[in-house]
Copies of this chain bind each other. A is one copy, B any other.
Amino acid sequence: MRKNPERRQALVDAAIEVLAKEGARGLTFRAVDAAAEVPTGTASNYFSSRDDLLTQAGGRIYERLLPDDETMAQLDVGGQDRAHFARLMHELVDRIMAFNTGFLALLELRLESTRRPELREVVTKRIRADVDQNIANHAASGLPGDSTTVVTLMLALNWLIMERLTLPGLFSEQEAHELVDVLVERLIAR
């Protein structure tokens, strides 16, 4: 088993790409080799099995989906009203949609989780942590709404993003934009 950490990470990133493009079932050592532009057989040398590769990809996606520091800083500036809340949510949606590969790959992993308990566990933990962190961030920000606001917003926004990524013809960009506004508006507790 090879050790080179840059190469290993490049392979995991390539695996995410393959997941999004070809689906979970299309994730083969060979496909990853091709996506990472390394010689045939390389992925074989770095991962003991497909499962291994899959779970490592599951762990890695979240690292890349998390907001960067710059974005986090914005949480604090700009007021604590609904308008600012909405602005942040638009930003969130845009950020995730910009890394659409990651979002799609995560969807594939979720579906694959149905078949692999081990993977399910990894993904569940990651997402649980993400939910908790979003709730905590929101609480610290002083923005209106309660923790349920955060959870319900996540539900609706996630599906909206998925809708836009998988069936772009369903909602127009403008409809999607307005839906975000409405969701923020209504989901803030009275």
Contacts and interface: CB of A to CB of B under 8 A. Distances in A.
Interface stretch (A3-11, A23-31, A37-45, A82-90): A23-31
A26 B169 CA distance: 27
A170 B158 CA distance: 15
B124 A170 contact: yes
A25 to B, nearest CB: 3
Interface stretch (A48-56, A109-117, A134-142): A109-117
- This chain: how many copies in the complex? 2
A57 interface: no
Interface in A94-147: 104, 107-108, 110-115, 120, 123-124, 127-128, 131
Contacts of A23: 23-25, 111-112, 115
A168 to B, nearest CB: 8
A14 to B, nearest CB: 18
B179 A155 contact: yes
Interface in A148-190: 148, 151-152, 154-160, 162-163, 165-167, 169-170, 179, 182-183, 186-187, 189-190
Contacts of A20: 114
Given A23-B25, A167-B120, A189-B186, A162 B127 contact: no
Interface of A: 20-26, 104, 107-108, 110-115, 120, 123-124, 127-128, 131, 148, 151-152, 154-160, 162-163, 165-167, 169-170, 179, 182-183, 186-187, 189-190
- 4 nearest A-B residue pairs (beta carbon): A25-B25, A159-B159, A156-B156, A155-B156
